[in-house]
Amino acid sequence: MEQVNESLKTIKIVEEVEFSAAYRWQHWIRALSIVILTVSGFYLAYPFLSPEINAEPTGFLYALFRSWHEIFGFVLLGVLIYKSFLFLFARKHSNERKAFIDFLNPMKWIKQVGYYLLITKHPPLKGAYNPVQFAAYIGFYLMMFALVITGLILYVHSYHDGLGGLLYEPMRSLEVMLGGLAVVRSLHHIVMWGVIIFVVVHVYMVIYNAIFSHEGAVDAIFSGHKWKRKDQD
């Protein structure tokens, strides 16, 4: 019993700030946008609801879904630009940039994969993300920007005034470079499936870390704080 108490004295639980309020807000706004964009995007590709039949010309359900899709497309664009600014320049987000150091370390990759396979302990990290997470997030944001760009190309074919008119020429040039409108639409759908797969894996890993990690990594996206065990001198 005395040995147990002695070992407990050598462990210190330290509360650390993992994510700022700005990060947490943009995360949940982005998550909401992805859900709405996915549902409305499926409807635009394969309309699964029909408007109520009546004698008035008010059955514009498809147009309603498209308007919500475009509104939250611009919300997503705004959040992506804001998140990119936080990652690149914000002082409070230096822990995210530090993750790039572990991303370049082969031993961290080996130990992290071993941890996921339940054969090694979780390696100590310099930043907020392990190398596998960092690589996954790079792929995720590349897909996000691909969705936004292809979405803007499709958008300028619906609205030709205001922002649509301003973006028309550059988006048309990108459309030609990508091989035409049909190719752009196909790319938009394919990348959407990539995002869906990422979200499924992301939720799985959140549950995994909630079970096997004892540092409050999941709680950090709500509270902003993470608990770490450190040995006392």
- For residues 6-14, give the mean pLDDT: 55
Structure tokens at 5: 């108490």
The stretches of the chain forming alpha helices (DSSP H) are 2-9, 21-45, 61-89, 94-103, 106-116, 131-155, 163-178, 181-212, 220-223
Distance CA 219, CA 216 (A): 5
Point out which residues pair with 16 in neighbouring strands: 226
pTM of the model: 0.81
Instruction: Return the pLDDT at 48.
Output: 81
Decide which of 121 and 184 is more confident.
Answer: 184
Angle at 39 between CA 172 and CA 193, to 5 degrees: 65
Structure tokens of 56? 């008035």
Q: DSSP assignment of 116-170, as one string?
A: HTTSSPPPP-SSSS-HHHHHHHHHHHHHHHHHHHHHHHHHTTT--STHHHHHHHH
Number of neighbours of residue 11 by Cβ within 10 angstroms: 10
Q: Token pair of 153, please?
A: 């190309």
The per-residue pLDDT for 137 is 92
Q: Is the pLDDT of residue 120 over 90?
A: no
pLDDT single digits (tens) 42-54: 999 888 877 777 6
Please indicate whether residue 14 or residue 106 has the higher confidence score (pLDDT).
106
Domains annotated on the chain, with CATH: 14-90+132-231 (1.20.950.20)
Band (150; pLDDT cuts 50, 70, 90)? very high
Nearest 5°: CA angle at 12, between 6 and 18? 160
Q: Return the structure tokens found at 102.
A: 């572990």
